[in-house]
Amino acid sequence: MRFTTSILPTLSLLLLQTTKAIDLDIDSFPSIKEAAAQVAKDLASEFWDPTSYSGVPNGLGQYAWWQHGAILGAYVDYWHLTGDDTYNSNVTVGWLKGVSPSLDLLPKEHAFDIGNDDQGFWSIMSMDAVERVFPETDEQKKMGAGFLEITQTVHNTQDARWDNTTCGGGLRWQIVTIKGGYFYKNTISNGLYFQQSARLAKYTGNTSYADAAEMSYKWMRESNLIQDDYWINDGLDVNECTKLTTKRWTYNYGTIMAGCAAMYNFTTGSKRAYWKQELDNVLNSTYATFIDAETGALKEIQCQESKTCDMDQRSFKAYLVRWMGYTAQVAPYTYDTIMMHLRKNAALAAATCIGEPRGTACGQKWNVGAQWDGYHGLGEQINAMEVIQNIIPYVRPNIGLIFNSNNGGTSRSNPGGKGNTKTMRNWRLILAAEYAKHALRNYEIKAADRFGGAILTLLTLGLLAGMVVFVVTEPEVEEKSEEKKSEERPQPRSVVE
């Protein structure tokens, strides 16, 4: 992630709102699906280009690469929660752009700018894909780009960067040593490492990951990134370890919450009691900090009212609500309270989706009633999308389940994964043939496929002269097929088996 100056929205169109809006009945599955589909469509058509290295269409350089990982996570969940696979092939294309050829989510195009948090956002997306059993292609598997093995590889690379030499532990923000952020240990980098480790432990059952989660959490508590009163700070200065940046952001609370929830789920006995207590404290602190007492709306308190949120910060609420949805699944005792807040916020968010250019753009502020505040961007769309789709399990309790390797998960494990470091460091010297082995990123969708209607064909370009790699059928249009589709999605094996 990076520091950016805030870009003010165009306010001139504020008074020209059309009346299209998004009608959302939070008790109706078809209505929630329709609302999610509209918000997802607006996000995809304006702010997502999975075939580009940046993940966003040309001219939108203000968005950082990590947000592409965030978008992919949103569409993995979208598919899982709504059953609509419209965007699945683009998720795969975008994923392959990020993952290969270095096979560790450090693509050379972004190598200088990637911090542990950027890499972590992509790997937490792949963990979503693992736990939700998002389809993997044969080619993806053959080339070592399956979701679980990549998450494990990221874990290993971050493990190796864990730094006990300053401030008693922690991951630094930046990876490149000449950047200022190398001397900052921030909560999102460490919180994503913690969450990733905890979810790997829960999914694989491997206690090494749980040890890593425990170690990182302990450090965050001892370093006061997470204070005894559960105020969660943004980060600390490596040269002066007690110097904390005290800003509070929704996504930091969210990543700690989800990690505690996974650990609560994975552990037993007194350890489980410990994680329950930590989770309860983080939940209470989250509610007390970010929920507007008057309206029940989630607020990005640091910048929302002052209109100073930057392009990164405008999307943070999305990750808090995504991880609230995850927490409700793996720590079911939190479900009722979390769902109450999410359902309230889904309704509030949808009511703001009356903005330009098409009368369905969603606003940044959810505490203003049925008005659009003039903000229109990737952040506002992904925020609304996540909160709307994450209420689906409330009306369809068999949807949204999180799987483990022993009850339905299928992604291949490779705990020793190291990534393709040779390519990363010295990619120009690599023989074309070797590069080709890792050329998944050169897949592109052919525009002509739109004619076919039913079929999207993905072709490889560039060094791979190959032909059709995989074929994805588009969802059928009839309303009737939808229930059937959701039944076809992975179900947990029956407990009596």
Ligand X SMILES: *[C@@H]1O[C@H](CO)[C@@H](O)[C@H](O)[C@H]1NC(C)=O
Binding footprint of ligand X on the chain (CB under 6 A)? 44, 49-51, 86-87, 90, 162, 164, 169, 206, 208, 215, 265, 280-281, 284, 329-332, 402, 415, 445
Min dist CB 49 to ligand X, Å, is: 4
Burial of 313 from C-beta contacts in 10 A (0-12 / 13-18 / 19+): buried
- As measured in angstroms, the least distance from the Cβ of 148 to ligand X is 11
22: left (phi over 0), alpha (psi -120 to 50) or beta: beta
Q: How far is the CB of 227 from ligand X (least distance, A)?
A: 14
Place of tokens 């598997």: 141
Shortest distance in whole angstroms from residue 467 CB to ligand X: 20
In Å, how far are 5, 104, 220, 367 from 163, measured between CA atoms? 30, 19, 13, 41
Shortest Cβ 206–ligand X spacing (Å): 4
User: How many Cβ atoms from other residues are within 10 Å of residue 459's Cβ?
Assistant: 15
What minimum distance in Å lies between the beta carbon of 153 and ligand X? 10
Orientation angle between helical segments 66-82 and 116-131, nearest 10 degrees: 20
Tell me whether residue 31 or residue 54 sits nearer to ligand X (CB atom): 54
Residue spans of alpha helices (H) in 162-206: 187-204
Considering just the CA atoms, what is the radius of gyration of the chain in Å? 21
Query: From the CB of 291, what's the least distance to ligand X, in Å?
Result: 12
Q: Tell me whether residue 309 or residue 388 sits nearer to ligand X (CB atom).
A: 388
Please, which residues have CB within 8 angstroms of residue 275's CB and are 6 or more apart in sequence?
Answer: 260, 263, 264, 267
Nearer to ligand X, 182 or 335 (CB): 335
Residue 408's alpha-carbon distances to 105, 272, 403, 405, 487, in angstroms, are 25, 24, 6, 6, 14
Kindly state the smallest distance separating residue 71's Cβ from ligand X, in Å: 11
Nearer to ligand X, 313 or 334 (CB): 334
Name the residue with tokens 């998944």: 440
CA distance 463 to 436: 6
Among 301, 387, 363, 344, which residue's Cα sits nearest to residue 78? 387
Q: Of 77 and 310, which CB lies nearer to ligand X in the complex structure?
A: 77
Pairing state of beta strands 455-460 and 443-445? Answer: antiparallel
Q: Which is nearer to ligand X, 1 or 361 (CB)?
A: 361
* Closest to ligand X by CB, 329 or 442: 329
Cβ atoms within 10 A of the Cβ of 257, count?
27
Give 49 or 128: the residue with its C-beta nearer to ligand X: 49
